[in-house]
């Protein structure tokens, strides 16, 4: 446990040197503020421009689910970039051979940031939600966001073998987040094409207002996580 703590602290120092730590504190609040205060104003602008009654308002829930996804993904993305750097510098192999081990390394790089982002996401949803949701739904949204963030990072570090591939995979995996919006934009029969994405089930849970739909999201996230760790380039 001490090794995990030291390893996490080491990552914080690395991020502090990059100024990324300060940004990590400010950015989610900034994004939340933009969503909360900017979207309703943007709605005013675009409805006037396109001469329509409402354009974005029916999709306010989508923004909330996006906020719940983006915050943990942001933290896990930062951690994934650190892992890529460490792998390119051959530090990872040395850490695996230390008392930290592979499990401890993953906990310090993805587990702890994931847990922290859960708490932050919960707070941000409480402060910046466009639509009022219950505590339970909010918790499920934050939990799903965290699972997605961890899968996202695992994909980046397992599929790619260096920084450049990492950036390319990041761009591609970020599309996985779009699953949350499918229930709003696609007909029911077509949207099931995205059944394999945990984000789709989270979106569906909010769209149907049915918390039980979080179960397939969590199960799928578990399967994704298991496969990615087993594939094991990280």
Partner 1 sequence: MRMEKLIAGDVKFQRKYGFYFLYAILTIIYITAILAIPQSWRGKIVTLLIFSDPPAMGMFFMGAIVLLEKSQRVLCTLAVSPITPQEYIASKMISVSLISLLVAVSIALAAGKDHLFILGMGTVLTSMIFTLLGMIVAVKIESLNQFILWTVPFEIIGFGPAVLYLFGVDFPVFQYYPANICINMVAGRLPGGLKIVILCIFIAILFGLAQKSVLRMWNRLGGAKL
Interface residues toward partner 1, by CB under 8 A? 14-15, 18-20, 23, 45, 49-50, 78, 81-82, 84-85, 88-89, 162-169, 171-172, 175, 185
Q: CA 55, CA 52: separation in Å to the nearest integer? A: 7
The Cα-based distances of 57 to 42, 46, 50, 130 in angstroms read 10, 11, 14, 9
CB nearer partner 1, residue 135 or residue 196: 196
Q: Do you know the residue count of the chain?
A: 234
Q: Which two tokens stand for residue 169?
A: 């995979």
Q: CA 117, CA 148: separation in Å to the nearest integer? A: 12
Q: What is the nearest approach in angstroms of partner 1 to the Cβ of residue 15?
A: 7
Q: What is the nearest approach in angstroms of partner 1 to the Cβ of residue 230?
A: 22
CB nearer partner 1, residue 23 or residue 115: 23
Q: What are phi and psi for residue 53, nearest 5 degrees?
A: -70, -50
Helix (H, G, I), strand (E, B) or coil at 128: helix
CB nearer partner 1, residue 164 or residue 223: 164
CB nearer partner 1, residue 131 or residue 168: 168
Q: What is the nearest approach in angstroms of partner 1 to the Cβ of residue 132?
A: 29
Q: What is the nearest approach in angstroms of partner 1 to the Cβ of residue 215?
A: 28
* Cβ contact 45:36 at 8 Å: no
Q: What Rg do the C-alpha atoms of the chain give, in angstroms?
A: 18
Q: Which two tokens stand for residue 124?
A: 């941000």
CB nearer partner 1, residue 136 or residue 175: 175
CB nearer partner 1, residue 108 or residue 137: 108
Q: What is the nearest approach in angstroms of partner 1 to the Cβ of residue 186?
A: 8
CB nearer partner 1, residue 43 or residue 88: 88
Q: What is the nearest approach in angstroms of partner 1 to the Cβ of residue 19?
A: 6
Residue 126, C-beta contacts closer than 8 angstroms, at least 6 positions apart:
138
Q: What is the nearest approach in angstroms of partner 1 to the Cβ of residue 194?
A: 12
Q: What angle do CA 147, 152, 156 make, to 5 degrees?
A: 150
Q: CA 10, CA 130: separation in Å to the nearest integer? A: 37
């Amino acid at each position: 446990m001490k090794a995990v703590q030291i390893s996490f602290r080491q990552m914080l120092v690395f991020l502090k040197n990059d100024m990324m730590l300060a940004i990590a504190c400010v950015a989610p609040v900034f994004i939340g503020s933009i969503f909360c205060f900017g979207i309703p104003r943007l709605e005013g602008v675009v409805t006037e421009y396109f001469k329509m009654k409402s354009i974005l308002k029916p999709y306010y829930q989508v923004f909330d689910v996006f906020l719940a996804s983006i915050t943990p993904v942001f933290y896990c993305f930062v951690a994934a970039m650190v892992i890529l750097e460490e792998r390119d510098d051959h530090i990872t192999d040395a850490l695996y051979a230390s008392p930290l081990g592979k499990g401890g390394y993953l906990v310090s790089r993805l587990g702890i940031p994931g847990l922290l982002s859960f708490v932050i996401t919960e707070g941000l949803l409480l402060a910046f939600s466009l639509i009022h949701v219950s505590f339970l739904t909010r918790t499920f949204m934050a939990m799903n966001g965290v699972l997605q963030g961890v899968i996202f990072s695992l994909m980046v570090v397992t599929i790619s073998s260096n920084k450049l591939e990492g950036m390319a995979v990041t761009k591609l995996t970020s599309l996985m987040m779009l699953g949350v919006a499918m229930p709003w934009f696609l007909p029911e029969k077509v949207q099931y094409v995205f059944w394999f994405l945990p984000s789709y089930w989270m979106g569906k849970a909010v769209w149907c207002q049915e918390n039980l739909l979080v179960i397939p999201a969590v199960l799928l996230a578990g399967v994704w996580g298991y496969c990615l760790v087993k594939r094991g380039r990280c």
